Structure 1
């Protein structure tokens, strides 16, 4: 599933190992999110990652609430 995990980590200068240590989420799960291989990520996983990174799920998935609909 498309997400901004890779970009957010780069901006915050964090690694997958940092997120693993801060959340306890398996590295294989984090790599799946990083490389956008995970089709349906678990909600609790996304919320843990977002909480650790201090972002919203919308930011994680690159959803802009301010975009105008055509």
Structure 2
């Protein structure tokens, strides 16, 4: 999985605290997602972030499948 949360916030000059205030999501949760430490993110959390940023889920989180050798496929 490729998490684009930090890139998107950086491009838009949006702070984690702004997302926290607007969505009501825990600052700790947002920090875990931002620093790519979150392993299991709840779907409702992702939906709130996407709604706030006005982006589709596929822009926030990308899935890159593994090939038969167990390596991530690239475009």
Q: TM-score over 0.5 for the alignment?
A: yes
- 1:7 aligns with 7
Larger radius of gyration: 2
Higher strand share: 2
Higher helix share: 1
Q: Does 1:29 align with 2:29?
A: yes
**2:62, 2:10 → 1: CA distance?**
15
TM-score (norm 2): 0.79
Structure 1: which 5+ runs fail to align?
64-69
Equivalent pairs counted in the alignment come to 66
Q: Give the secondary structure class of the aligned counterpart of 1:41.
A: coil
- Calculate the aligned-residue CA RMSD, in Å: 2.1
Structure 2: which 5+ runs fail to align?
64-74
- 2:57 aligns with 57
TM-score (norm 1): 0.85
